[in-house]
Amino acid sequence: MLAGCLVLLAAGLVAGVRALGQEPTVTLLANWTGTDERNLRATVLDPFARTHHVHVDYQGSSAESQVLGADVEAGTPPDVVVLTGPGELADYARQGQLKPLDGLLPQAGFGASWTTPLDGHVYWFPLKADLKSIVWYPGGTSARQRAAAARQPGQWCLGMGSGATSGWPGTDWIEDILLQRYGPDTYQRWARGELPWRSAEVKGAWTAWGRLVGAGGDPALVRRALKTPYQDAAEPVTRTPRGCTLEHQASFIRNQDSWKRADGRYEPSARLIPGAKADDAWEVSGDLVALLHDTSPARALIRYLASAAAQRAWSARESGFSVSPDAQPAPAARGADWHRSLAATLLDDRAVHCFDASDAMPPSVRDAFAEATIEYLAHPDHLDTLLTNLDSLRLAHGLTWLQSVCDHADAPGGRETP
């Protein structure tokens, strides 16, 4: 009875301290919900709270861009945010909403494509990274079978649905085709807003994607792609007979039930993209941490999330990968073969890593690009109009374009459209 009373008393004291505002609190907005949120809390946030005695008020939302925009407009933004788009973060930085992270990150730092400086300061860093230039297939599928499947639009597992951000699986495809066909220099010129959408290279990437997945072709196939949420795209892989065989998707998709049941394996997308010529170039993405309120609890959380311990703990759950050189576990503790090989590619200094181009673009261009892929999939004859509209957006006044999205880039910083 005494022990029970002590537990209740302790709980009451904790609640009372929080109610009185005496326990430091930091607010965090990110896109992780469900299993990912539980992993984040168990492996990262709860250990931070115990060690630093700071309460983390976490909000997870699949529409975090919209939530953040509304909060900023209302004057109540979170202390710390995790976003997938450096282009969106650059926009907030130019508005004066973000605080520089100078002095808060470890000396080893992260690669150039992950912490692109803006106006001489670093405003974000990756908590989680993923590889995108890959194609998944069921275990036991031979190279000849994969090559044959790649020539059949119906054998590509494709789901374009993603709520407010629907269409991004299509942007990933087009970006990767451009990268693999024309290399990092052309890719970066386009991501900087310098290469027109109506250029032969960019238009060719669109039409190549259209041929691969059957844009404007079989109505049932197009309808399936448009109506299917991206996380359910591979469900036909588990059917008998299979409804599809290949999925061009980022490394995180391996944790979906369909690919677990199918013993999902992967190969570089360059092997299956017609006309691919790039040498060891990879499209990557990341969940990027940024600071909006420069408070002691918020700075403590930033330092912790950038630390090797936090990065290693999050990566260990195989929810994603860390690209911090100091955070890599011992070889014996790196999990499944597919996870180890993906991690090695992300950390390979000899490879070129280019950040997801649409995520690096200004938000208005990014969103229009995603919407255009949906329109193109159903109506490929609208392509010229879609590209003309995107070029008009590219030239709009006041947009912030990052000048470096690939490793070994020669133009750090950002520029604003005059």
- pLDDT recorded at residue 57: 97
Which CATH number is 131-282+356-396 given?
A: 3.40.190.10
Give per-10-residue mean pLDDT for the chain (418 aa). Answer: 38 37 87 90 94 96 93 96 95 95 84 83 93 97 97 98 94 98 97 97 98 97 97 96 97 93 97 95 96 97 94 76 76 68 90 95 97 98 98 95 80 54
24-130+285-342 and 131-282+356-396: identical CATH topology:
yes
Domain ranges of the chain: 24-130+285-342, 131-282+356-396
Return the closest-CA partner of residue 202 out of 225, 181, 223.
181
- Considering the domain delimited by 24-130+285-342, tell me its CATH architecture: 3-Layer(aba) Sandwich (3.40)
Mark out the alpha helices in 279-415 (DSSP H runs): 296-306, 308-316, 337-347, 357-360, 363-378, 383-394
Q: What share of the chain is helix, strand, coil (3-state, %, to 5)?
A: 50, 15, 35
320 is written with which tokens? Answer: 């994603």
What's the Cα-to-Cα distance from 414 to each of 95, 99, 101, rounded to whole Å? 14, 16, 17
384 is written with which tokens? Answer: 């010229």
What's the Cα-to-Cα distance from 236 to each of 71, 131, 151, 255, 356, rounded to whole Å? 39, 23, 18, 16, 27
- pLDDT recorded at residue 327: 75
- pLDDT recorded at residue 1: 41
- pLDDT recorded at residue 195: 98
H or E element: which one contains 92? helix 86-94
